[in-house]
Amino acid sequence: MEFTISTKRGQDLIDITSYIKNAVRESGVKEGLAVVFVPHTTAGVTINENGDPDVVTDIIEGLNKAFPVRGNYLHFEGNSHAHIKASFMGSSVNLIIENASPRLGTWQSVYLCEFDGPRTRRVLVKILDG
Amino acid sequence: MEFTISTKRGQDLIDITSYIKNAVRESGVKEGLAVVFVPHTTAGVTINENGDPDVVTDIIEGLNKAFPVRGNYLHFEGNSHAHIKASFMGSSVNLIIENASPRLGTWQSVYLCEFDGPRTRRVLVKILDG
Amino acid sequence: MEFTISTKRGQDLIDITSYIKNAVRESGVKEGLAVVFVPHTTAGVTINENGDPDVVTDIIEGLNKAFPVRGNYLHFEGNSHAHIKASFMGSSVNLIIENASPRLGTWQSVYLCEFDGPRTRRVLVKILDG
């Protein structure tokens, strides 16, 4: 299955855990694997803390320090920082399905990582039974 | 299946390959996929060299330079560097199972990445037959 | 299945998408998951833009700034930067298979990441039906 998210900012992490949980529930799969895949090159997906929204801000700012938005980049579109961050965060995450639900730690949520927004982004979810 | 690891330091990479090999063996699966998942937001999992322990030190120090332990972070717990590192390393790794064993390169081991220890960490292993 | 790639430079990203597509086609699997795994500790695999080759240059240079080739590293082989980059990019990517083909975004390609070349690198592809 797939869904779309309209991001609101240039850079943001958007909690998409509820979409993944719905996808798992609708699949009817009790035990298996859920693979979340983002088919974009300036957006990614990661798992991190949902308890304090400052963590999201700190992650984005930490990334900006290591990979500045403006730098000596060649790519004509001017969004190379976003390509680097997307490659580092990765295009997919794996979630283990137990008892018909993705198994996440207490503080873990799945985040769509927008690095070159605002845009409409697609997210694919593949459920494997097993 | 799952197991726990008690980490000893604030930041460390702990070789957990033998646990994964045991999990694959006990599953009886000959060909398939092993997904290793860490249900924490200040710890991750990666694959890297097991030949020279200096590589682990260099990885941790390299990460500290790019994402300093102390910085202008907002998160009240003061461990934002650990959240960033965990997101970058990732929550899971995939291992291909061949002949009832995870297929790893000569120098590859699977490491639990502790970035906010010492703590007791859980590691989940899901084995898919196929 | 597996294949080998002879890299030409010290650091490079080599588009291996056609190999993955061939592997999926030859497997005969219509719906499922393709896991691409690199059994090396100074090479990795990522997904990024194939439209403008400057993106590859910018990614490598961005990584070099965050994790310099020469630094205060302990590891005697002098390639610690390559181990760090490989751990960050990761050893594997997941691709969802739909209609007998890996589902990729318009601009996405799969890249072998060489950080300590030139060398001959192996790439493993595992196809799961489901």
A112 within 8 A of A13, measured Cβ to Cβ: yes
CA nearest to B59, candidates B15, B22, B24, B12: B12
CA nearest to A88, candidates A120, A122, A59, A56: A59
Collect all residues of chain A within an 8 Å Cβ-Cβ radius of residue B75: 52, 54-55, 58
ipTM at complex level: 0.95
- The contacts of residue B13 (CB under 8 Å, 6+ apart) are B46, B48, B56, B59, B60, B111, B112, B113, B114
d(CA A38, CA A3): 10
Structure tokens, A125 = 């979810």
**Subunits with 3+ C-beta pairs closer than 8 A to A:** B, C
Mean pLDDT of A54-79: 88
d(CA B96, CA C2): 12
Q: If you ran DSSP here, which 8-state letter would residue C24 be given?
A: H
Written as one letter, the residue type at A42 is: T
A58 within 8 A of B84, measured Cβ to Cβ: yes
Q: If you ran DSSP here, which 8-state letter would residue A25 be given?
A: H
Termini Cα distance of chain A: 18
C124 within 8 A of B103, measured Cβ to Cβ: yes
As a residue count, chain C comes to: 130
Confidence of residue A48 (pLDDT cuts 50, 70, 90): very high
The contact set of A with B (CB < 8 A) is 32-33, 46-49, 52, 54-55, 57-59, 61-63, 65-66, 88-90, 93-96, 103-108, 128, 130
Mean pLDDT of A51-74: 89
In the block, which residue shows the tokens 């998942």? B37
pLDDT at B125: 98
Confidence of residue B4 (pLDDT cuts 50, 70, 90): very high
At residue B127, does pLDDT exceed 90?
yes
Number of alpha helices (DSSP H) and beta strands (DSSP E) in chain C: 3, 8
CA nearest to B104, candidates C95, C122, C78: C122
pLDDT at B76: 80
Residue C58, CA atoms < 13 Å, CB-side half-sphere: 28
User: How close, in Å, is residue B127 to chain A by CA atoms?
Assistant: 8
Superfamily for B2-129? YjbQ-like (2.60.120.460)
pLDDT at C88: 87
d(CA C47, CA B27): 31
d(CA A108, CA A16): 11
- Comparing CB atoms, the residue among B35, B39, B87 nearest residue A89 is B87
The contact set of B with A (CB < 8 A) is 33, 35, 37, 39-41, 66-67, 71-77, 80-81, 83-84, 86-88, 90-92, 94, 122, 124, 126, 128-130
Mean pLDDT of B122-128: 98
- Rounded mean pLDDT for each run of 10 residues along chain C, 130 residues in total: 97 97 98 98 95 90 90 85 93 98 97 97 98
Segment B67-116, tens digit of pLDDT? 999 888 888 888 999 999 999 899 999 999 999 999 999 999 999 999 99
pLDDT at B85: 92
Collect all residues of chain A within an 8 Å Cβ-Cβ radius of residue C89: 87-88
A129: closest chain B residue by CA: B128
d(CA A35, CA A124): 8
Confidence of residue B47 (pLDDT cuts 50, 70, 90): very high
